[in-house]
Amino acid sequence: MKAIGADDGFALEDGNKFYEFDIDQPQPKQYDLLIRVQAISINPVDTKIRQSPVTQAPRVLGFDAVGVVEAVGEEVKHFKVGDEVYYSGSPSYQGSNQTYQLVDERLVAKKPQNINAVEAASIPLTGLTASETLFDVFQISHKPDENRGKSILIINGAGGVGSIATQIAKHHGLHVITTASRDETHEWSKNMGADIVLNHKNDLTDEFKKYEISEVDYIFCTFNTDLYFEKMIELVKPRGIIATIVAFKEKQDLNLLKQKSITFTHEYMYSRPLYNTEDMHTHRQYLTDITEKIEAGVYKTTLNEVIEGLTADHLFKAHQKIEKQSMIGKLVIQL
């Protein structure tokens, strides 16, 4: 089987160190599914891990995939050969940049039947990240009526995570405020369901005043936590909650959170599979819920660009696009 990997961590300016190689097809054990991969999406996490040291070469990246179950481990209960599935996998496994991949069934759900594989590949990682943030961190209710009157600010609403988080938050009754700066990102975010789209090139305090917003209950930062840290503290309500998926690069004063009794947390969707938590099956549950909502026409795909064919050159091109930090929605490679 074909795989695309690299022997060392590398920056884009080092040139393309991805290469294609052949490996034996793996065999599923215990909770494993063997998936014939049809489509993958590229995420910022891929570009970050690409630059980190490699402990066992070659390293195969890829944390989103859609495919067909080809074989199952002896303890698999929820899937059978022939099922069309999607998932975001785990850093504990080799990634989805290959033609076949093993993945734990607890991290997998049936693919929505009303969209194709390429469209479905845009969903898992971002959908899981948004679901964990909204339901685990902010603890919003699954009943929309119980969330009425509450508001959320999503920084970078037109990105992959922001796009699906907007849809989930809106469906569950929140007043959704996002940020964007270009005409096309403003329009995209509105199409995803945002009630108000602020221009993040302006001071967000002034933008709040412009739209007569006082403070919000929740803030979800999906872009440059250092840049927005103090501003988020200013804009969130007392006893509000701030979550970010972007690690600090600078030292920040967490004491600034004290006066308003603000809860601040980092959300990392891979915590459950990395630590093999007892509730790892939550990934399957969240993805199953998303599948049901897509099939019911409540949520829609966040796909925006497709590259045809998994090659070392195409993978490098995809990483270049992601690192420009100007992507709208999701970028998918069709195998």
Give the 3-state secondary structure of 169-220: HHHCCCEEEEEECCHHHHHHHHHHCCCEEEECCCCHHHHHHHCCCCCEEEEE
Mean pLDDT of 323-329: 87
pLDDT beyond 90 at 327:
no
Residue-wise pLDDT for 183-193, tens only, equals 999 999 999 99
The kind and range of the H/E element at 162 are helix 160-171
Q: Which amino acid is at 195?
A: D
Phi, psi values for residue 26, rounded to 5°? -75, 160
Name the one residue in this structure whose structure tokens are 């991290």.
107
Mean pLDDT to the nearest integer, 312-334: 93
What 8-state DSSP symbol labels residue 115? S
User: How many angstroms separate the first and last alpha carbons of the chain?
Assistant: 13
Cis peptide before 238 (omega within 30 of 0): no
Please state which architecture CATH assigns to domain 126-266: 3-Layer(aba) Sandwich (3.40)
Mean pLDDT of 120-141: 98
Decide: residue 23, CB within 10 A, 0-12 exposed, 13-18 middle, 19+ buried: middle
pLDDT digits (tens, 9 = 90+) for 136-166: 999 999 999 999 999 999 999 999 999 999 9
In angstroms, what CA-CA distances link 205 with 183, 213, 235, 254, 261? Answer: 21, 9, 7, 21, 20
Domain ranges for the chain, please list them.
Answer: 2-123+276-334, 126-266
Burial of 279 (0-12, 13-18, 19+ CB in 10 A): exposed
The CATH H-level (homologous superfamily) assignment of domain 2-123+276-334 is: Medium-chain alcohol dehydrogenases, catalytic domain (3.90.180.10)
* Helices and strands (H, E) in the chain, number of each type: 10, 15
Q: What is the mean pLDDT of the chain?
A: 96
Q: From 97, 124, 122, select the one nearest 110 (Cα to Cα).
A: 124
Tell me which residue has tokens 């569950």.
172
> At which residue do the structure tokens 């739209």 appear?
211
Does residue 326 surpass a pLDDT of 90?
no
pTM: 0.95
| Residue 282 confidence (pLDDT) above 90 | yes
State the Cα angle at 327 between 236 and 167, rounded to 5°.
50
User: Percent of the chain having pLDDT more than 70?
Assistant: 100
Residue 217's alpha-carbon distances to 5, 207, 268, in angstroms, are 43, 17, 21
pLDDT tens digits, one per residue of 195-241: 999 999 999 999 999 999 999 999 999 999 999 999 999 999 999 99
pLDDT at residue 80, rounded to an integer: 97
- The larger pLDDT score, comparing residue 327 to residue 174, is at 174
pLDDT at 261 over 90: yes
Token pair recorded at residue 115: 């969209």
User: 3-class SS at 229?
Assistant: helix
- The number of CA neighbours under 13 Å toward the Cβ of 51 is 11
Q: What is the pLDDT of residue 92?
A: 85
Q: Per residue in 52-77, pLDDT tens? A: 999 989 999 999 999 999 999 999 99
Is the fold of 2-123+276-334 the same as that of 126-266?
A: no
The 3-state DSSP class for residue 1 equals coil
Q: What is the pLDDT of residue 93?
A: 86
C-alpha 97, offset from chain centre: 17
